[in-house]
């Protein structure tokens, strides 16, 4: 952990421990955390679209892990709010974890277009990056690497979910390739990598989202101060 200006930043290992304690000891279901993360992402996306979602085109780029599940929840909310949403997946169904796969089935029933691989991203008003979560170590590969490069080349605003895909959450190293986000909405606590030299151009504006981690979990990690007294999404 590191503290800067009253905000505590955690490593990937510490964040994983916090998630595990929340889910296994406090019995907060992973679907609850995912729903809160996805809704917060959709809310910030709406702000980036100048509070007008109707008719706006949004591409949610998602992987097969829980970060991708968060992105799919965001896609559902934005579609419900009137946006034209396409979900572009970097993993086939057989490579997805069960929880995000369940989110994909919901989107299919809603009739939201699900596209596999890489597409022209220049026609969208906003891209949401839900490709890779905080556990990444090493360069992104295969379809996901192509999608990151296409997103960066599109010239469109990018909202990264939890951290830019391709960044090491602990060290801040930007692997090849790494999303260059316009804004990042990080979940529960910011990551230590965000403090490192050279990370800022990839993160863009940094926001922190409350995903309902119990206060007692924060306290068990010696974190006494809540950052969400004024709002569930705060700029840091």
What is the 3 state secondary structure string of the chain? CEEECCEEEECHHHHHHHHHHHHHHCCCCHHHHHHHHHHHHHHHHHHHCCCCCCCCEEEEEECCCHHHHHHHHHHHHHHHCCCEEEEEECCCHHHCCHHHHHHHHHHHHHCCCEEECCCCCCCCCEEEEECCCCCCCCCCCHHHHHHHHHHHHHCCCEEEECCCCCECCCCCCECCCCCCCCEEEEECCCEHHHHCCCCHHHHCEEEEECCCCCHHHHHHCCCCCCCCCCCCEEEC
d(Cα 231, Cα 192) in Å, to the nearest integer?
23
Beta strands across the sheet bearing 183-187: 114-116, 84-89, 57-62, 126-130, 158-161, 183-187, 205-209, 233-235
Joined together, the tokens standing for residue 23 give 């889910």
Res 202: pLDDT: 98
Give all domains of the chain, ordered by start, each with its CATH number.
2-235 (3.40.50.10260)
Using CB atoms within 10 Å of the CB of residue 97, give its burial: 0 to 12 exposed, 13 to 18 middle, 19+ buried: middle
Res 119: pLDDT: 79
CA 225 vs CA 5, 11, 37, 189: distances in Å? 12, 18, 21, 12
Radius of gyration of the chain (CA): 16
Calculate the CA 171 to chain-centre distance. 18
Res 167: pLDDT: 98
* Cα dihedral 44, 202, 85, 91 in deg (nearest 10): -130
Res 221: pLDDT: 84
pTM over 0.95: yes
Res 96: pLDDT: 95
Using CB atoms within 10 Å of the CB of residue 196, give its burial: 0 to 12 exposed, 13 to 18 middle, 19+ buried: middle
Res 135: pLDDT: 92
- Average confidence (pLDDT) per 10 residues, the chain, 236 residues: 89 97 97 98 97 95 97 98 97 95 98 88 97 95 95 98 98 97 98 95 98 94 84 96
């Amino acid at each position: 952990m590191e503290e800067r200006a009253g905000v505590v930043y955690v490593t990937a290992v510490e964040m994983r421990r916090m998630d595990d304690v929340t889910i296994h000891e406090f019995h907060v279901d992973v679907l609850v955390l995912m729903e809160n993360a996805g809704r917060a992402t959709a809310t910030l996306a709406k702000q980036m679209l100048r509070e007008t979602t109707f008719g706006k085109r949004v591409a949610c780029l998602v992987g097969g892990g829980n970060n991708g599940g968060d992105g799919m929840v965001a896609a559902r909310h934005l579609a419900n709010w009137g946006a034209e949403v396409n979900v572009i997946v970097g993993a086939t169904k057989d490579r997805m974890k069960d929880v995000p796969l369940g989110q994909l089935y919901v989107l299919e029933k809603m009739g939201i277009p699900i596209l596999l691989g890489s597409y022209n991203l220049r026609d969208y008003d906003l891209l949401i990056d839900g490709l890779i979560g905080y556990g990444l170590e090493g360069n992104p590969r295969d379809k996901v690497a192509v999608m990151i490069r296409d997103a960066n080349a599109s010239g469109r605003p990018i909202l990264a979910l939890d951290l830019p895909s391709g960044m090491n959450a602990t060290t801040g190293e930007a692997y090849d390739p790494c999303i260059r986000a316009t804004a990042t909405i990080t979940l529960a606590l910011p990551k230590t990598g965000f403090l490192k030299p050279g990370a800022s151009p990839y993160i863009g504006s940094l926001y922190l989202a409350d995903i309902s981690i119990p206060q007692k979990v924060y306290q068990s990690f010696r974190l006494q101060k809540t950052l969400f007294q004024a709002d569930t999404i705060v700029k840091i």
